[in-house]
Each structure stands twice: as structure tokens, then as C-alpha cells.
Structure 1
Amino acid sequence: MEQGFAFERAQTPSVETMNDTFTWIITGASRGFGRAIAERALRNGDAIMAAVRQPEALADLAERYAGTFATWQFDARDSELALPLVRAAVDRFGRVDALVNNAGRGIVGAAEEVAEADLREAMDLHFFVPAALVRATLPIMRQQGGGTIVQLSSQGGRMSFPGVGGYSAGKFALEGWSEALAGEVAPFGVRVMIVEPSRFRTGFNAPDVLGVVDAGPVYRDALAAVRADMRRADGVQEGDPARAADVIVDLVHRDEAPPLRLPLGAEAVERIGGSYTANLDALRRWADTARSTDFPDAPPSSRPAVASWAGSA
């Protein structure tokens, strides 16, 4: 049995002992979306447990918000650290109202070029560790009677393009898993919001962050434009992380359920919208062919549709 499943019985404090300060766990909080969300929530009077590799990078926030801000050294590729992080947040602040799985890293390279070790690391970072954090946090949220899970995905979690398959693989997995999760936890008052940004001025495209696989002769020309675009985007992206943080914090604090999926940035709206349209066109074109493969006397499925819990809120 996974260690986290015993947490609810052995570690969860009673509801009566929990304080009233709205508390967040945020991974990758040292810069980009993570830091922007942390700063916005702190100004709001919330408490933050920031999970980062280098806690000293947040020394300014620790000094400014000594009573409501704490850091926890965390490697976002190691799922074994999920449960200790959640325990630390509860020990310090008494509750967890919002979990933000934000840590991530881009990787650029053709499917044939990205090594298995790099692909597995990307899946750990973008899917397995976020899933472990959710599993560790849900017992707390269920006992509280509510909470919000914010999954920082990407426009690349709904559509992809050549050269970013290694990155999109983890985000696609995260989105599919989170969509099912939303229906499972809704009866307990727990909400799920998948955030799908386009290009924002975070550290994502910085040379020391973005992983770019050495170009081999086969795909050098085919992916030259993608590689160049990803590398030169740092500092000139359209999106403002502070404005995005305002939207995310506001939606998390609302009584009204947040949207299951939230594209951020004009490019995300256009690209994701275009992907929806293209897929719907293809579905309609091949619908009769698809239907023709069923047994005519088979009983219909009773599985719920996404709209039954996501709606248009």
C-alpha cells in the first residue's frame, strides 16, 4: 500500500484544530507563475507553503511575510517527497485549501531524439509528482469539506506540434487524469482547475531552464524554426504572470466553481480553439464510419459525460 493512503487516519488533524487562514501549497514557487501566485495570495492575507529546490531564493518573501510564508525544500521530480510536504504544510498552518502543481520544464526535440531518461523525467515532473501531491492532499481537503486543486498545464496540454511531444506527453496525461479526478472529488466539495497558458514571461524559455536536445541530421531542418522560436522567446512573451496570478487567485477564492479548463493568453485561446474546431470537423466527417463499427444490439454506456460535473462554470 502506498504510504500516502495512511495519512488520513494517522496524520490529519481534526477539523476543530484547523485555523481559518486560507493556505496554499505551491510547487515551483521561486519564479514565474508560482512566485506570482504566491505574491498575490500573500497580499490577500493567505498563507503559503512554497515547495522549491532552493528555499533561499525566496528569502525576501520569508522576511516580509514571516507569519504566513514558509518554504520546504522539494525536488518536483521525486514523488516520495509529496507526503512529507503536505504534512509540513498542515503542521505549520493547520490546513490546505489550495494545491498548485506548477513546477515544470520544457523539452524540445523530435520523438526519435528525446532519450527515454529525459522522457521519464518529464513525465515525473509533469504527471507522476503532481498526482502524488494530489493523493497526499485529498484526505485533508475531504475532511475540511472542500479545497481547490490547480494544475498548471499548458496550451501544449490540449494540442501539440512537432518538437514538443516530450513536454506535451506529460501535460496530456495530467489533463486526462485531472478531468477524471474532477468528477471523483466534486461530491466532497473539492474543485479542480486545469490552467492552460500560452507564452508568458516566466523562466520557462530561459537558457538554463529550457531543455533543447542536440539536433541530429534527420530532423535538424524540420525543427529548426521550432527550436529557434523557443530559444528566442525568453523575455518577449505576450503573457504577464502577475495578471495571470490575479485571475487564478480570484477564481480559487470564489464560492462559484472555477472552470475545469482555463486557457490564459490570447494565443492559447486561438490555438486551443482552433484545435477544438479541427477535431470537431474531423469527428463529424468520420462519424458515420465510426458508428458503423458498433454491434447494433449492444446496450448503451452508462459512463458520465464531462458536462455532468464540469459544466460551463
Structure 2
Amino acid sequence: MHTNGQKVWFITGAARGFGFEIAKTVLASGDKVVATVRSQPEKLAARLNHPDNLFVTQLDITDEDQARKAAGEAVAHFGRIDVLVNNAGSGLLSAVEEATANEVRRNFEINVFGVLNVIRAVLPYMRERRSGHVINISSVGGLGGYIGWGVYGAAKFAVEGLTEAMALELAPLGIHATVVAPGFFRTDFLDASSLSRSERVIDDYGATVGEMRSFATQANHQQPGDPAKLGQAFVRLANAEKPPVHLLLGNDTLARYREKTASLETDIREWQDVVTSTDHDDARA
């Protein structure tokens, strides 16, 4: 672990939830923060007590021009961007079949295309300085599938894949990329402000997705994860000399990941003859 002076962070979706907690913790650590919000930037600045180290700007991540403008403003204000936290996102609770094309598009527009808009806006500044750290927030649902979270999970699986490739592409340029997969934390993610539910409900999914809908309502604000501790984890991550490509946060995430790898190993074992049967004869070792 090391700290190399004051960093400038660019955090999307900072009005509440993870974004707010990370911004608050980073400011307390002495670093500078560019916090982006979709509306009412002055409201967030007031909630964080208007410190000199804070610059709040408006950004709807689905608008690429606005993303470029926000990145430019950040660099004009603080001189550089050291850490990008792609936090802004949106949930969708729905069976895969229930979600309409528009609901799916909207979710990917925010969780995948929006993240890419911000990445494309910020990376030129990091490449210029041959330094920086891109931190994309995925989810435990980006590591393994959950009933009712197929579309949201698929968007987060995309973020996992993008980050893995970025880590390889950016390493020679002195830039790190990490994808963080938090489990269930006590934020307002399950409130209507963050979570959409499909308008269409198919009765056949009552025992699966229907149960998840009830569970999501009851579980709200009972989740095991502590958002303040998540903020601390981000500060540690940004100060690490060799940050990981994957950072899982929460015992629930760790358990889900181990379950996934065990089940994959079982599938490989049971289907080994088929798995190994498809190479050309001349390609076999």
C-alpha cells in the first residue's frame, strides 16, 4: 500500500448510494473529488458542506457530449483526473422474457453504453499523462446469474468483460483498470429511484421472479453490506501499488463466486468428453 500525494477522483452518480459514500470518504481522506449528478449539483455540494476539494458538475452518462464536457470541466478545474469511478447505474427487476425491448435498451443504455461514454471521455486525459486508474462498478450479479436480475446482470457481465480487456490494453500505458463487484449493501438501490420493475408480469414466473419481487421489497435496507466500509475499500484500492483487476466486496459476493466456480467445475467434469472432443485431429497435442 502506498499513497502518492493528493489524487483527483471523477465519480459518476454521486448524489446518493455508493457514489455519495465514496465521494464522502474520498473527501475525508484529503483527495479532490469531481462528483457528477444528473440534476441539482448545488444540492449535493451543500450536503457535502462545500469543501474546496469538491467540484460538482451535471452529467447524464447516456449523453456522450455531456460526458466529454464534464471530463473537460474536471481537468480545467483540478488539472487532471487520477481515478475514474463509473458508479452511475440502474437496476431492472424482471424475468428475462418479461422485459420489453425498450426496458432492456434503457438498462444497457445506462449500465453499459453510459459507462463507455464516460470511459471514452476520460481516457484521453489519462493516456496523455500515462497515469490513472479506471474503476468500474459491476455487481455480484455480474459474476453469477440471479432469478429476476437477468438483464441487469447481463449488463454487469458486460462491464466485467470490458474491464478485463481494458486492464490488458491500458497496462503498457501506465493506467490500471479494476472492476468492483459489490454484494448487497444497505443503500437505496432497491428503492424506485434506482430500481425499475418490468411493467409486464407473467404469472408463470410467480414462483421464481414473483418471489424475488417480494424478497426485494422486504430486503430493502436490511442488506449485510455497510456502504461506509465500501467507501474505505475504494480509497485503499486507489492507493494500491498493484491494484487487482477484480475486487469482490462482501462475504455474500465471495460465497456466490465460489458457488459459481464450483458449479462450472462440475459441468466440466461431467461433460469432459464433449468439452475435449471438438478440436481438429491435427490440433490435438
| Native 8 Å contact 2:180 2:248 kept in 1 | yes
Matched position secondary structure for 1:219: helix
Matched position secondary structure for 1:297: helix
In 2, distance between residues paired with 1:82 and 1:287?
47
Please name the residue that 2:157 is paired with.
172
Please name the residue that 1:40 is paired with.
25
Please name the residue that 1:97 is paired with.
82
Structure 2 residue corresponding to 1:196, chosen from 159, 181, 189: 181
In 1, distance between residues paired with 2:218 and 2:64?
32
In 2, distance between residues paired with 1:61 and 1:41?
15
Deviation at residue 140 of structure 1 after TM alignment: 1.3
2:211 pairs with 1:229:
no
**5+ residue gaps in structure 1?**
1-19, 301-313
% identity of equivalent residues: 36
| Native 8 Å contact 1:106 1:209 kept in 2 | yes
Matched position secondary structure for 2:36: strand
Q: How many residue pairs end up in the alignment? A: 279
Deviation at residue 61 of structure 1 after TM alignment: 4.8
197-206 or 55-64, which deviates more: 55-64
Match of 1:93, as an amino acid? F
In 1, distance between residues paired with 2:211 and 2:64?
35
Deviation at residue 21 of structure 1 after TM alignment: 4.0
In 2, distance between residues paired with 1:157 and 1:291?
27
Matched position secondary structure for 2:9: strand
TM-score scaled to structure 1, two decimals? 0.84
Deviation at residue 233 of structure 1 after TM alignment: 1.8
Please name the residue that 2:228 is paired with.
242
| Native 8 Å contact 1:109 1:164 kept in 2 | yes
**5+ residue gaps in structure 2?**
none
2:205 pairs with 1:219:
yes
| Native 8 Å contact 2:8 2:31 kept in 1 | yes
129-138 or 179-188, which deviates more: 129-138
Deviation at residue 145 of structure 1 after TM alignment: 2.1
Please name the residue that 1:79 is paired with.
64
Matched position secondary structure for 1:258: coil
| Native 8 Å contact 1:122 1:170 kept in 2 | yes
| Native 8 Å contact 1:207 1:231 kept in 2 | no
261-270 or 80-89, which deviates more: 80-89
2:277 pairs with 1:292:
yes
Please name the residue that 1:107 is paired with.
92
| Native 8 Å contact 2:61 2:117 kept in 1 | no
| Native 8 Å contact 1:101 1:152 kept in 2 | yes
In 1, distance between residues paired with 2:228 and 2:188?
14
Match of 2:165, as an amino acid? A
93-102 or 79-88, which deviates more: 79-88
Deviation at residue 119 of structure 1 after TM alignment: 0.6
CA offsets per residue over residues 49-108 of structure 1, 9 Å max, x none? Answer: 11111213313255431x211111111333332211111110111100000000112111
In 2, distance between residues paired with 1:78 and 1:218?
38
2:27 pairs with 1:27:
no
Please name the residue that 1:64 is paired with.
50
Matched position secondary structure for 2:206: coil
179-188 or 129-138, which deviates more: 129-138
| Native 8 Å contact 1:154 1:195 kept in 2 | yes
Please name the residue that 1:117 is paired with.
102
